[in-house]
Structure 1
Amino acid sequence: MLQDDITNGKYLPNERIPSEIELAKLLSVSRMTVNKVINELVKEGVLYRHQGKGTYVVIKKIDQWFFKITSFNRDMVSRGLVPSTSVLEKMVLKAPRNVQNALKLSPKESVIFIKRLRYADNEPIMLESRYLNYELCKRILKEALDKESIHDLLIQKYGLPLTKVSQYLEAIQISKDDAKFLGVKSGEPGFLLCRITFTGESPVTFVNYIYRGDKYRFTAEFVPIE
């Protein structure tokens, strides 16, 4: 019935489904039966009601693990999505004050700055702004960063094992400039994940990830300490 039509893609995410009267005719069932099915699907998070406009299919969000670092490309492929990346900026610059503090650099030291827009099925879902320790990572400027995983390059090619991570997550309103890249309206809800990664006791990268709030939710799994 209706659940199968949603699963099979007849009704797409964020698409309004027919009214209860229309569905009753289409499915050859009573309106009461349709109402009961819709109520159940709303409870299960498959549908949502927009007062005065109708009932819509929920956009399925990507569960991003907070305590786990994975390759974006491998993660998307594992979900049945096609990943792609646009490199927006790649340059060497003097480290801003907050980056100096994060990477424990002097005011005179330079960093590599890389800004990338990440897509799933050709839809922009995450904006990445990354600063890297220049002395440790200078070779990365020659890499094809629209295809390569920076995480994999650091560990597998440059021999910089990931030994520690410091990060925090906060809810934000996406800025006007970032909204243009992500294809959303300015002020739309999103997530900002700030992460510093270390090799030994040396910080290697400082990254700001901006995730679309309509595409992501963050999850965690842990053993409670008594």
Structure 2
Amino acid sequence: METPKPHYLKLKQYILRHITNGDWPPLSRVPSENDLVVKFGVSRMTVNRALRELSDSGVLTRVQGVGTFVAGPKAESAMFEVRSIREEITARGQLHSVQVLIGESVVARPNVTSQFGLESGAELFHTRLLHKANGKPLQLEDRFVNPASAPDYLGIDFQTEIPHQYLMRVAPLERTEHVIEAETANKRLAAQLEIAEGDPVLVLTRRTWSRGQVVTWVRLTYPASRYRFVGTFQVGATLTPGG
């Protein structure tokens, strides 16, 4: 039997749903505390907690004596381009930094080796990096790499050359596959991204090919409050990854 969700969490999800649906665009005013108290029949303390947590995570901006507003435009990435997170961050005039959480050689599980077309138990390189913009986590990168395509991968200095830069140099991009999903942060992920447990995240899973074989399979996770994907499609045109 599932435990009922706390009222403040239901209220947070209500607000996030209206924002992600586009009902409340960036910089628009959200209902007042009084309006939310009446609408949901909860205490002012409950409403205040929901608004405070969403403000702390960057979803809302509270202006004393004026009201609460949806935060301004988020960092964004073109949906079908393979871009460097470092370039994205520095292009906005922010400082990029990276924290290496894992760097190892592993005997990979079948669900991972299948992404590369390899047999179960094949050796792969595995890294997990946390990319930050002005000290604030923006992307958690969990990546597996085929040693046959990038044998020196674990030896690079990720402070100097992040995985994207190294792989584009040694294994020129030939083809890519993207899957984008929305999820909610568990306790561990929330701690890594410095958001609240249950907050929405965007997950981009990508495979890339070079010289006819899969080079890397990576899962990129972003706080939904700080990031979005955009895409432009031309009717009648052929969509080419990276273009």
Fold agreement, TM-score > 0.5: yes
Q: Equivalent residues in 2 for 1:117-196 (5 A)? A: 117-156=130-169, 158=170, 160-196=171-207
Given the superposition, is the C-alpha separation of residues 49 and 43 from structure 1 closer, same or farther in structure 2, using an over 3 Å criterion?
closer
Shift of 1:43: 8.0
Do 2:26 and 2:72's aligned partners in 1 also have CA atoms closer than 8 Å? Answer: no
* 1:140 partner amino acid: Y
User: 1:67 aligns to what?
Assistant: 80
Pick aligned residue for 1:206 from 217, 220, 224: 217
Shift of 1:201: 2.1
How far apart, CA to CA, are the structure 2 residues paired with 1:115 and 1:198? 20
Pick aligned residue for 1:94 from 107, 111, 122: 107
Do 1:164 and 1:200's aligned partners in 2 also have CA atoms closer than 8 Å? Answer: no
Do 2:24 and 2:70's aligned partners in 1 also have CA atoms closer than 8 Å? Answer: no
Q: Secondary structure at the match of 2:234?
A: coil
Structure 1 gap segments, 5+ residues each: 1-41
Q: Which one has the largest radius of gyration?
A: 1
Pick aligned residue for 2:93 from 61, 74, 80: 80
Number of matched pairs: 183
Percent sequence identity over aligned pairs: 25
User: 1:4 aligns to what?
Assistant: none
* 1:128 partner amino acid: E
Do 1:85 and 1:147's aligned partners in 2 also have CA atoms closer than 8 Å? Answer: no
Give the CA RMSD over aligned residues.
1.9
Shift of 1:57: 5.9
Structure 2 gap segments, 5+ residues each: 1-22, 34-47, 49-66, 238-243
Q: Secondary structure at the match of 1:68?
A: coil
- Normalized against structure 1, the TM-score is what? 0.75
Do 1:84 and 1:147's aligned partners in 2 also have CA atoms closer than 8 Å? Answer: no
How far apart, CA to CA, are the structure 2 residues paired with 1:128 and 1:218? 16
Q: Secondary structure at the match of 2:150?
A: helix
How far apart, CA to CA, are the structure 2 residues paired with 1:133 and 1:82? 30
Please list the CA deviations of residues 53-75 of structure 1 after superposition, one character each: whole Å capped at 9, or x if unmatched.
73236143112211111111111
Do 1:48 and 1:58's aligned partners in 2 also have CA atoms closer than 8 Å? Answer: no
Shift of 1:161: 1.0
How far apart, CA to CA, are the structure 2 residues paired with 1:57 and 1:223? 30
Shift of 1:44: 6.9
Q: Secondary structure at the match of 1:224?
A: coil
User: 1:7 aligns to what?
Assistant: none
Shift of 1:50: 4.2
Q: Which consecutive aligned stretches of 4+ in structure 1 deviate over 6 angstroms post-superposition?
A: none
Do 2:79 and 2:229's aligned partners in 1 also have CA atoms closer than 8 Å? Answer: yes
Given the superposition, is the C-alpha separation of residues 56 and 141 from structure 1 closer, same or farther in structure 2, using an over 3 Å criterion?
same
